[in-house]
Structure 1
Amino acid sequence: MSGDPYAALGLARTASEAEIKAAYRKIAKADHPDLNPDPAAAERFKAAARAYDLLKDPEQRRRFDAGEIDMQGQERPQRRSYREQAEAAGHPYARGYGFESDPDLSDVFADLFGRRGGPQGGGHDFHMRGQDYRFGLEVDFLTAARGGKTRISLPEGGDLEVAIPRGVRDGQTIRLRGKGGAGMGQGGAGDAYLTVSVAPHPDFRREGDDILVVLPIGLDEAVLGGKVAVPTIDGPVNMTIPKGASSGRRLRLRGRGINGGDQQVELRIVMPPKVDDELAAFFEEWRGRHGYDPRARPKAGG
């Protein structure tokens, strides 16, 4: 099919709305999985359903023909975050296989499966579980670390509040039972699957269940030590800087990470904005009496 909805329906780009509907009805009657067990037929049916779902909407069809969106309804070249594929290779707006919301095509399936007017003449009801929806969900770093709530827009309209569990990881999938597409007959609703993307934070970085933060300290704090306020995911806390602290040294705040993890505080010495004459004179004198080589390797056994 190569991403061409017209080819999936066996039509030219000049096909009318009636021709599009007729082509889909024909394929549905021949290749629906409940009528034709051939896996190739099921793939043809899915491709035709996705194609019909795109082309039956005049605005969507116009945008596809203009090159603004692809067959999945995705913007070119950018992707939309919350309307991602409704199934692994499915349509982003998740309308099942294109017939539930179309009254004419509902009649087609009533004829096929005996749903019209209930079971008559040996017919049987048609039941189908609703489509699973799949979304990409970007969550800010602190919400992912602490847990919280956000809202997503649903393909058929409206929105849904989603509880973000504490400590959710980048790439993790959240399953929302029964929040997918509506089923047919006695078929239950599908599920919604949210693949989480955690946005970076300017101060914090996650390492397992630990949080890493780089803490700038002054030259005097490195030499003399002291108490400083340190940001954590739950608010600032005071921490003691030991005398003689070096850049790159890590201090630990126990239990200040995620789900019982710790916070690692990496020190970084920051020089004053300007080295004045007084500071320079002091270090000239100090170096003359206490100079040392910071690049010297410690002696073995020393």
Structure 2
Amino acid sequence: MANDPYQELGVSRSASADEIRKAFRKLAKAHHPDTNPGNKASEERFKRVSAAFDILGDPEKKKKFDAGEIDADGRETFRGHPGGPFGGGFQGGPRGGFSSAEFEGVDFSDILSEMLGRGRGGPRGFDSGPFQSRGSDVRARLEIDLEEAIQGARKRIAFSDGRTIDVTIPKGASDGQTLRLKGQGAPGRAGPGDALIELSIRPHPIFKRDGEALVMDLPVSVPDAVLGGKVEAPTPDGPVTLTVPKGSNTGSRLRLKGKGLVDARGERGDLFARLVVTLPDTPDAELEAFAEAWRKERPYTPRRRP
């Protein structure tokens, strides 16, 4: 049986869903096989952490686990209940018998099948129904680049049970989006569960998100800002050439249509380049002399516009 999922994630039983998610992300990132290649201890810890989040990250499973209806492996405990389908349930009476604890982990579909003569020409009604359960869903987190979120990609992911599969990232994927892979979860008598892949978009060194739009700072030289000119600008689709208008200031924005993120309708947002007038990296004596003469002859004080 797996360890207590709360202890595995290092959270209290009163932890919120957000606290549970944050604890899982931190541990999964620290022990992911890609981060610790060849480290068996980290690989095992990653499996245990993923299994724990499979229970606590699913509100329904968490509720059942807290109520003692399933164990840390997601298996039903089958505790007896007074007035159940067998009268007084499975609780032992004054004459002895078995307590409910002795039945934990037992496959009651097999027991009931034997009682009713399945396999000996008897009834087969217990081949399905509440005693036949679907396999548990498994969860994993997959980090992708901004370009992969925009253009789509094919990624390989490792699950806690050691399996690896290829995942198709759809165009326009968003941060926090969950992909459901049918039949890729844990096996069960009624069929396997699903795999739930939560996408996390890595921060980009240049572009920042603003809804479906992207924004970036674009350095321009003093001559290009004063006189106007052509500059090369990066985009998620590759570099493009922009025209900087004459007399541009820091803070001026240029719009690149259709170079942003994909919205719910499948349409691309825009990319906005914020101009940043930038001096040379090394001092320039001629530029300094020009600026000194300008300051004396044409003084002005920039003021922030209201």
Q: Structure 2-normalised TM-score?
A: 0.64
Return the match for 2:7 from 53, 67, 70: 70
Return the match for 1:80 from 20, 28, 46: 28
- Report if aligned partners of 1:53, 1:98 keep a CA contact under 8 Å in 2: no
One-letter code aligned to 2:270 = D
Take 2:305 and 2:206, find their aligned partners in 1: how far apart are those partners? 32
Deviates more, 1:123-132 or 1:171-180: 123-132
One-letter code aligned to 1:122 = P
User: Match of 1:80, SS?
Assistant: helix
- Report if aligned partners of 2:156, 2:165 keep a CA contact under 8 Å in 1: yes
Take 1:214 and 1:235, find their aligned partners in 2: how far apart are those partners? 16
Q: 1:96–1:221: structure 2 CA closer, same or farther, 3 Å change rule?
A: same
One-letter code aligned to 1:53 = A
Aligned to 2:96: none
Aligned to 2:135: 130
Matched, 1:220 2:223: yes
Aligned to 2:243: 240
Q: 1:128–1:115: structure 2 CA closer, same or farther, 3 Å change rule?
A: farther
Deviates more, 1:107-116 or 1:206-215: 107-116
Question: 1:72-111 CA deviation, whole Å, 9 max, x = no partner?
Answer: 59999951146532232669xx954299xxxxx9974453
Q: 1:246–1:113: structure 2 CA closer, same or farther, 3 Å change rule?
A: farther
- Report if aligned partners of 1:132, 1:180 keep a CA contact under 8 Å in 2: yes
User: Match of 2:156, SS?
Assistant: strand
Q: Give the aligned CA root-mean-square deviation in angstroms.
A: 3.3
Q: 1:291–1:111: structure 2 CA closer, same or farther, 3 Å change rule?
A: same
Matched, 1:114 2:113: yes
Return the match for 2:2 from 23, 41, 53: 53
User: Match of 2:186, SS?
Assistant: coil
Structure 1 residue 54 displacement after superposition: 3.6
Deviates more, 1:269-278 or 1:111-120: 111-120
Q: Percent identity?
A: 39
User: Match of 1:288, SS?
Assistant: helix
Q: Structure 1-normalised TM-score?
A: 0.64
Matches within 5 A, 1:161-176: 161-176=166-181
Q: 1:217–1:164: structure 2 CA closer, same or farther, 3 Å change rule?
A: same
Take 2:230 and 2:76, find their aligned partners in 1: how far apart are those partners? 64
User: Match of 2:27, SS?
Assistant: coil
Take 1:76 and 1:233, find their aligned partners in 2: how far apart are those partners? 30
- Report if aligned partners of 2:135, 2:191 keep a CA contact under 8 Å in 1: yes
Matched, 1:140 2:77: no
Matched, 1:270 2:278: yes
Structure 1 residue 237 displacement after superposition: 0.5
Structure 2 gap ranges (5+):
12-22, 33-46, 66-71, 78-103, 263-267
Aligned to 2:80: none
Question: 1:209-234 CA deviation, whole Å, 9 max, x = no partner?
Answer: 11111111111111111111110001
- Report if aligned partners of 1:148, 1:164 keep a CA contact under 8 Å in 2: yes
Take 2:303 and 2:114, find their aligned partners in 1: how far apart are those partners? 83
Q: 1:173–1:268: structure 2 CA closer, same or farther, 3 Å change rule?
A: same
Take 1:177 and 1:271, find their aligned partners in 2: how far apart are those partners? 56
Aligned to 2:256: 253
Matched, 1:282 2:290: yes
Question: 1:10-55 CA deviation, whole Å, 9 max, x = no partner?
Answer: xxxxxxxxxxxxxxxxxxxxxxxxxxxxxxxxxxxxxxxxxx2349
Take 1:178 and 1:98, find their aligned partners in 2: how far apart are those partners? 21
One-letter code aligned to 1:237 = V
Q: 1:293–1:254: structure 2 CA closer, same or farther, 3 Å change rule?
A: same
Return the match for 1:182 from 171, 183, 187: 187
User: Match of 1:273, SS?
Assistant: coil
Structure 1 residue 235 displacement after superposition: 0.4
Structure 1 gap ranges (5+):
1-51, 56-63, 100-104
Structure 1 residue 188 displacement after superposition: 2.9
User: Match of 1:227, SS?
Assistant: strand
Aligned to 1:155: 160
Deviates more, 1:160-169 or 1:120-129: 120-129
Take 2:260 and 2:200, find their aligned partners in 1: how far apart are those partners? 19
Matched, 1:97 2:79: no
One-letter code aligned to 2:286 = E
Deviates more, 1:77-86 or 1:242-251: 77-86
Take 1:225 and 1:164, find their aligned partners in 2: how far apart are those partners? 41
Q: 1:256–1:223: structure 2 CA closer, same or farther, 3 Å change rule?
A: same
- Report if aligned partners of 1:209, 1:257 keep a CA contact under 8 Å in 2: yes
One-letter code aligned to 1:240 = T
